[in-house]
Amino acid sequence: MPLATSYGLGDRVSEKGARESLDNTIRRTEPESCPLFSTLSRGPKAQAILSEWIVDDLDEVKFTGHVDGAPLSFANGFKDKTEGRVRFGNRIQQFQREFAVSPQAEAVNVAGPDNLYAMSKSKALLEMRRDIEACLGSDQESQAGASNAGDLMDALGTWTNPADTSIYDSTGKLAHRSVTKSRFNLTGTTGSPGDLTEDAFREQLQAVYELHGSAPSYKLFGGPSVINSLADMTRVSSSANAFSYQLTQNVGDGVLKLQVQEYISDWGRVYLVPSLFLGRSSGVAFNDTARNRAYLLPSDSGISLRFLEDVKTIDLDDVDGGGKRGLCRAMLTLSCGSAGKPLGSIV
């Protein structure tokens, strides 16, 4: 006799009545960690579209000896100790993500969270957080806003660039620019992670120390190739097939730990923070530029985020029957209190 089988009913909703089996969970597969945005301190609240601060320097050492009793002239014997001051600034940039849900979409039964509007708001906030993170780690240069374009901030790629003349546009400001050896060109080498050698990294740290004058702790926010390069300094060299340094540990518990989280050098302790959002351009996916990018930020560099308006969401009324809508927004800038002088970068 004929049998009703599952093959006849189909494997999805059909005219024969088979029901679907759809999990009520939606899993995101994109990276969400934003270490720069999460880690950088928050400075004083911004009060204007252009957030500014003053940087000063010291004269070179002088010990020629002063003649006892020699008269001083008011014009030449005294020094204006404010003349070395220069004013830096960065523009407030507005970040925004919009979302909307139609009445019918909100009413139907969908997989995932029951509240489609709340889910949309949560997703928009996460996307905007990634936008801010990528902007902070990019090469973006500041731009004054106009009717057809918003204000843009100078990002870390510009602040750490030893060749930049947009931020450092005067003789006084050039004295606070990063030194040439503080930037290592990983992209311009043969492409192997091993090209960032221990000697090259030590030279970079030394260059920053010679300008900054102290050996503090650093956070190195780095792409995967940079993190691999620093970790490879503890392992076998593929070219020489010899150990430079070796991770030595007791593996009696069956666990071999090869993660390198700190690099302690003669010029300071470096904490390694992996990131996937450095060196990107707006609208560009993860690529070799992001893999090879890193920023070396001293703990006392004065780098912070300054908010004109903190992260917020705004719910808008359904005024035309199209459904609920809203937006999330933040207005902030990157403040580099010591300018580029104590900063390092890998590009």
Q: What is the pTM of this model?
A: 0.87
Give the tens place of pLDDT for each residue, 144-193: 988 888 999 999 999 999 999 999 999 999 999 999 999 999 876 544 44
Give the tens place of pLDDT for each residue, 229-276: 888 776 655 554 555 555 566 666 666 566 678 888 888 889 999 999
Q: For every residue of the chain, which 3-state class applies, written as one string?
A: CCCCCHHHHCCCCCCCCCCCCCCCCCCCCCCCCCHHHHHCEECCCCCCCEEEEEECCCCCCCCCCCCCCCCCCCCCCCCCCCCCCEEEEEECEEEEEEEEECHHHHHCCCCCCCCHHHHHHHHHHHHHHHHHHHHHCCCCCCECCECCECCECCCHHHHCCCCCCCCCCCHHHHCCCCCHHHEECCCCCCCCHHHCCHHHHHHHHHHHHHHHCCCCCEEEEECHHHHHHHHHCCCECCCCCCECCCCCCCCCCCCCCCCCCEEEECCEEEEEEECCCCCCCCCCCCCHHHHCCEEEEECCCCEEEEEEEEEEEEEECCCCCCCEEEEEEEEEEEEECCCCCCCEEEC
pLDDT of residue 96: 97
Residue 339 has pLDDT above 70, yes or no: yes
Residue 116 has pLDDT above 50, yes or no: yes
Residue 328 has pLDDT above 90, yes or no: yes
Residue 49 has pLDDT above 90, yes or no: yes
User: Which of 41-45, 93-97, 318-322 bottoms out in mean pLDDT, i.e. has the lowest?
Assistant: 318-322
Sheet containing strand 303-316, edge to edge, reads 41-42, 303-316, 324-336, 93-101
C-alpha distance from residue 296 to each of 151, 198, 200, 268 (Å): 26, 15, 14, 11
Give the tens place of pLDDT for each residue, 194-213: 478 888 899 999 999 888 77
Q: Torsion-angle region of residue 279: left (phi > 0), alpha (psi -120 to 50) or beta?
A: left
Virtual torsion, Cα 220, 223, 227, 230, nearest 10 deg: -70
CA–chain centroid gap for 123, Å, is 20
* Rounded Cα–Cα distance for residues 57 and 141 (Å): 25
Give the tens place of pLDDT for each residue, 88-115: 999 999 999 999 999 888 888 887 777 8
Look over the chain and give the mean of its residue pLDDT values, rounded to a whole number.
85
Residue 325 has pLDDT above 70, yes or no: yes
pLDDT of residue 133: 97
